[in-house]
Structure 1
Amino acid sequence: MAQNLSGYHRALDLFEGLVAGVSRDGWDASSPCAGWTARDVAGHVTGGQHLVRALASGEPVPDVSRDPSRFVQEDVLMSWRTARKECAEALTQDALDGLIPFGALGLLPLADYLEAYILEPLVHAWDLAQATGQPSRLDPDLVHHAFATAQVVSAPLRAKGHLAPPLTPPRGATEQTRLLAFLGRAVA
């Protein structure tokens, strides 16, 4: 891969570390995502790897928000690792250079999409950490990048009901807290 996808891989590594840290009985815990358990959050992000693989290979894109736990039926960590490995194998140079539809922005190279996609596993890493009582400090560089992405993609997501209204962060909040508040997540 010629593109520098280090941010994308760092976000996936962070998420994987949190998946690995969930206890066997922790998957039914409620998450900050309304109506979703920790298993649903893990399934949604795992489904995202199926989505990226489908974009890379020109296959139909799965709906990763509908019944997300279907992507992680038994062993959540193994399901995640398998999906991540299969996705990585599909990210050939031709696939990364290929144009994919990206809403109102039109067509863009898959590699550029993956730079913006950092937002998804990063924020859901926080959701999973909150649900399962794990440390929830995110990589500050990824937070900064994700916040810029969130400001570009939030309006259409909110219009479709996929993103909560923004909250007002407390005075002096860190960039992580401001990002989470922007995405409708209350930080205690």
Structure 2
Amino acid sequence: MDTPVDFGPLARRVGEVVTGTADAQLDDPTPCPDYSVRALLGHLVGLTAAFRDAARKNFSSLTDTDPGAGTPEPPTDWRTQFPLMLDELAATWRDPAAWTGMTRAGGIDLPGDVAGRVVIDELLIHGWDLAVATGQSYDADPELLNLALEFLNASTDPSDREGMFGPVVPAPADATELDRAVALSGRDPAWTP
């Protein structure tokens, strides 16, 4: 895929979940065992900045840092700033050049179209993580959900998943597409705080 995919609706949806997160929930657990709500927000801030720069092919410490190396603190005005960052991220990926050639994120060189799919997957799954951890509803644009499912289905071999996803969780036969994506990412779709 070398044509831009507009994931602005997904970025806006994640932004809505962010702004709906209460201060009292920041230390609560999430479906990511290593992340509290605060840490998940920090991870989202870091990946948003890194993939914004990856789209621009503007390589720096933001694009060179392994996401497992640490989690930045969310900015103090995260409810205001983070939705703006998500809008900027979506805008940078509307440029066809973002989807072509090579780029870098998380210290890994990868094709632009693969990086774009990673962004969609990260936003979709971490948006779900944050929503269920904070008791909010969550849905996804069907086209973007299908792209995430394609991406996740391509990496079900345990050796391909190390560092990116946990083991695939079986999803019930009547699972929604979103629940299937969540299960493929290594999370239990029935997770509750």
TM-score band, normalised by the shorter chain? 0.7 to 0.9
2:28 alignment partner in structure 1 = 29
- Residue aligned with 2:115, SS: helix
2:5 alignment partner in structure 1 = 5
- Residue aligned with 1:43, SS: helix
1:100 correspondence with 2:100: no
Q: Is the 8 A contact 1:158 1:164 kept in 2?
A: yes
The structure with more helix, counted as a fraction of residues:
1
**Whole-angstrom CA distance in 1 between matches of 2:68 and 2:83:** 19
**CA distance change for structure 1 residues 92 and 185 in 2, over 3 Å: closer, same or farther?**
closer
**Whole-angstrom CA distance in 2 between matches of 1:167 and 1:115:** 21
1:52 alignment partner in structure 2 = 51
1:177 correspondence with 2:179: yes
2:152 alignment partner in structure 1 = 150
Q: CA deviation at 1:175?
A: 1.6
- Residue aligned with 2:60, SS: coil
Higher-RCO chain (CA-CA 8 Å, sequence separation at least 6): 2
Q: Is the 8 A contact 1:42 1:72 kept in 2?
A: yes
2:162 alignment partner in structure 1 = 159
**Whole-angstrom CA distance in 1 between matches of 2:131 and 2:116:** 23
2:66 alignment partner in structure 1 = 63
Unaligned residue ranges in structure 2 (runs of 5+): none
2:142 alignment partner in structure 1 = 140
Counterparts of 1:91-130 in structure 2, within 5 Å, are 93=95, 96=98, 97-100=100-103, 107-108=110-111, 110=112, 113-130=115-132
Instruction: Give 1:83's aligned amino acid.
Output: M
**Whole-angstrom CA distance in 2 between matches of 1:23 and 1:54:** 29
Q: TM-score, normalised by structure 2?
A: 0.77
Q: Is the 8 A contact 1:154 1:163 kept in 2?
A: no
**Whole-angstrom CA distance in 2 between matches of 1:26 and 1:10:** 25
2:40 alignment partner in structure 1 = 41
Q: Is the 8 A contact 2:5 2:93 kept in 1?
A: no
Q: Is the 8 A contact 1:140 1:176 kept in 2?
A: no
Unaligned residue ranges in structure 1 (runs of 5+): none
Q: CA deviation at 1:16?
A: 0.4
